[in-house]
Amino acid sequence: MSKLVVISNRVAVPKARGVAGAQGGLAGALNSALKEHRGIWFGWSGEECEEYTGSINIQRTDGVTTATMDLPKQDVDEYYNGYANSTLWPLFHYRIDLTEYEREFGKGYERVNERFAESAAPLIEPDDLVWVHDYHLLPLGERLRARGLNNRIGFFLHIPWPPTRLFVSLPFHERLVETMLHYDVLGFQTGEWLESFLHYCRKELGATVDEVTGRVEYGGRVTYAKAYPIGIDFAHLTEQGKTEEAKIAGEKLLASTRHRTAAIGVDRLDYSKGLPERIDGIARFFDQNPERVRDLIYIQIAPPSREDVESYQKIRKELEQKTGEINGARSEVDIVPIRYVNRGHSLAELCGFYRTAKICLVTPLRDGMNLVAKEYIAAQDPEDPGVLVLSRFAGAAQQMEEAVLVNPHSPDDLSHAIKTALDMPLKERKRRYEALIKTVRDDNVQDWTKNFADDLALLGKE
């Protein structure tokens, strides 16, 4: 039987299964598939070395083999902090104002993708399915083909794909997409991102594109591009929500609210998540409804990320400043309106927080999916569910239309959404919850994984 080989920038061992979306949903998304297929997960260890050697550390845990390599500091600076997170990430999230176009970043990105191919190729047997993940490794399929691999190779993009007018600002954009067309199947989170990619292929490359099937023919090769909206491990999250750890976390939060309604946000500290804009919306709510400072407490959990990238340092400072200003203006001896928590929590703890919080704010400026929105709904009490306030620009909004949809750029819109959620009667909360829980339960990560793997094995064998 063929095995599944997953390749991603970082590798999460099985014990990390179900880590909250704010800290990276890829682990929970892939572990069950790897176990089922006797899989291997290959990627960067996250550690730096003095000099690149190509040596691989292989471990087997709970039925899954992990293989990792270390990278020199120059590679980390140019490939990871540089091209991946200072060029592609902001551009793909429509932040062209933050996008850095440095030639050395591009060289480092190509060099590290070649190193991934060099190290991963010997692990891949002729019948294996290879599944590459995310923007760090866009050209990896072409690098593997150059080493003679004729396997079925698929790629999934976990972030948005930008409109053509934005994407063409990237130097050598044609070359990057040409390398992507060496994959057999390309997966995107939503139909919107898929349409943007197909438009680029048709308009800029002159490829033959079938908009209905997603078939792209270019340079004698055929690639299929489709939308596969990612889900959560619903059964696992439900189990975590029943644990003693979740119960204690929920009780701890409830006891600290002093009879106020708790609203929560759980996001990686990143400018794409719209955190300063969210705090502005909360400030506008308190400005417009000063008497309700005793009705609402907001808890923002924001684990730090990519701390070596300057733009991330700036957003942390901005968030701390805005939070401090609101608390300074609105606090009383027994009340602090906003709690800002700059560390991560286990999934069980988050389930307890989610269930206790009667409002969840998921308001990214742009997001491929956003699994926190789905986690929050999955953790709710069906008899007394909370309200999800969701950005129209999150991929999840296309599946979760019964959330209170909001424009995260507008403080007034956010303020109105918070008031709507705070005052929503139980009957309406339950109606919305019943519609939302269906898609969260049915469109789960197991189906997502199976749908992609099935298509990779069969689609377009011509």
Residues acting as catalytic residues: 158, 367
As beta bridge partners, residue 362 has 390
C-alpha to C-alpha distance for 305 and 84, rounded to whole angstroms: 14
| Rounded Cα gap, residues 81 and 169, in angstroms | 20
Task: Provide the token pair at 12.
Answer: 């999460």
Q: How far is CA 59 from the centre of its chain?
A: 26
CA distance 371 to 445: 11
Q: How many residues can be counted in the chain?
A: 462
Q: Are 226 and 322 in contact (CB under 8 A)?
A: no
> How far is the C-alpha of 279 from the C-alpha of 274, rounded, in Å?
9
Enter the tokens of residue 73.
Answer: 């500091």
Nearest alpha-carbon partner for 180 in 208, 218, 211, 127: 218
Burial (CB count within 10 angstroms: exposed 0-12, middle 13-18, buried 19+), residue 301: buried
Residue from 206, 194, 333, 345 nearest 268 by CA: 345
Q: How far is CA 401 from CA 181, 226, 392, 435, 453, in A?
A: 33, 21, 9, 9, 28
CA distances to 165, 217, 308, 317 from 168, rounded to whole Å, are: 6, 20, 27, 32
Nearest to 446 by CA among 237, 187, 232: 232
